[in-house]
Amino acid sequence: SKRTGKNQIKEFEEESRQQILRTVEIEKALAQALDRSEFSLVYQPKVSLTQNRLEGVEALLRWHHPVLGHVGPDEFIPIAENTGLIHQIGTWVLRESCLAWVRWQKTGVKPFTLSVNVSPLQFAREDFVDTLQATLDATGMDPMFLELEVTESSMLSYEQSTREKLAQLHQFGIMISLDDFGTGYSSFRQLRELPVQVLKIDRSFIVNLFTDRNQEAIVRSMIQLGHNLGMKVLMEGVETSDQLEWLLNEQCDYVQGYYFSRPLREKEVVKHVKSVTTY
Ligand code: C2E
Ligand code: CA
Ligand code: CA
Ligand code: CA
């Protein structure tokens, strides 16, 4: 009826008003978050199925604000990108995670890979490689153990400068993995030309693996596509032994997810590495 229609519009207006207020609040708080040391990092293990061992860890950003509480990266990263703060935040993440990696090495554990998420905006900056080089120098991070996770949108503008950057990173020995694969729009041709070593299939693809009739065929094709292009394939968001068994059978190279481990604090990583010899 007319009345419910009007109410719905009101509700909608109220909702978007709340949404805008929250965004503004987060924007303001974010601007001070670095100075106030409100960020921290957690690290989620990546498991190699072919070698049955820990392959590395992915650094994931956490933010705790005294009033807003915990705000998830899915909510604040887009805002940081809109305000340009992502550059400072991204540099901080890279530096802190490299320092953590160096500290892990000092405990005598066998070296493993550190994966760091890079926003398309960060990657697009002209000084991206210089900033990275400076961070490697300052922290003592071994680039052979560093992997950058970039999304398809970073690669879509596959122009000269992107090519040059990727070539430089490759020279350093840094690996590139294509994050959130399957959610973007890269063509087969673009994929073939991309110098990435790992395809990271988005978590949304495993959620309905056994409930949606076509899902198995789709994920199987993605794994084969990666292999045909000479890449390794990682499935993220693995939560059950059924999923793991299926992926083993399909020759998926790496997995990540709550089934193996949630993201861990820096100190917990060493304990985890020492406690698990096989998965
Ligand atoms: P992502 O890079 O695709 O990271 C995977 C997300 O899935 C993480 O959420 C992780 O905690 C979560 N996850 C891992 N295993 C499972 C599982 O088995 N089940 C479920 N339900 N979830 C799982 P998180 O930490 O909230 O991060 C969300 C997104 O925020 C990331 O997605 C990434 O796009 C972005 N992000 C996080 N840290 C950074 C960062 O340092 N820099 C940038 N640019 N983006 C970041
Ligand atoms: Ca990622
Ligand atoms: Ca992902
Ligand atoms: Ca994602």
Report angle CA 196, 200, 202 to the nearest 5 degrees: 140
Q: Residue 274: is it exposed, middle or buried by C-beta count within 10 angstroms (0-12/13-18/19+)?
A: exposed
Q: Whose CA is nearest to atom 32 of ligand 1?
A: 74
Atom of ligand 1 nearest to the CA of 93: 41
pLDDT at res. 220 = 97
Atom of ligand 1 nearest to the CA of 61: 38
Q: Residue 276: is it exposed, middle or buried by C-beta count within 10 angstroms (0-12/13-18/19+)?
A: middle
Structure tokens at 209: 């693996």
Q: Is 74 in the pocket of ligand 1 (CB under 6 A)?
A: yes
pLDDT at res. 278 = 64
pLDDT at res. 195 = 85
Structure tokens at 186: 């890269």
Question: pLDDT tens, position by position, for the chain (279 residues)?
Answer: 556 677 888 877 887 889 999 999 999 999 999 999 999 999 999 999 998 899 999 999 999 999 999 999 999 999 999 999 999 999 999 999 999 999 999 999 999 999 999 999 999 999 999 999 999 999 999 999 999 999 887 776 656 788 889 889 999 999 999 999 988 777 777 788 788 999 999 999 999 999 988 999 999 999 999 999 999 999 999 999 999 999 999 999 999 999 999 999 999 999 999 887 666
pLDDT at res. 12 = 75
**Please, are residues 40 and 62 in contact by the beta-carbon 8 Å criterion?**
yes
Atom of ligand 1 nearest to the CA of 151: 34
Ligand nearest to the CA of 89: 1
DSSP alpha helix (H) spans, the chain = 2-33, 73-83, 86-106, 120-124, 128-139, 152-156, 160-172, 188-193, 204-207, 215-228, 241-249, 266-275
Task: State which amino acid sits at residue 114.
Answer: L
Q: Is 182 in the pocket of ligand 1 (CB under 6 A)?
A: no
Q: Residue 44 belongs to what H/E stretch?
A: strand 39-48
Structure tokens at 106: 């000092």
ipTM of the complex: 0.98
DSSP for 84-98 reads: TTHHHHHHHHHHHHH
* Neighbour tally for 226: CB within 10 Å: 23
Three-class SS state of 99: helix
pLDDT at res. 153 = 78
pLDDT at res. 276 = 79
Instruction: Please state, in angstroms and rounded to a whole number, the distance separating the CA atoms of residues 215 and 251.
Output: 17
Residue 195 neighbours by CB under 8 Å, 6+ apart: 166, 167, 170, 176
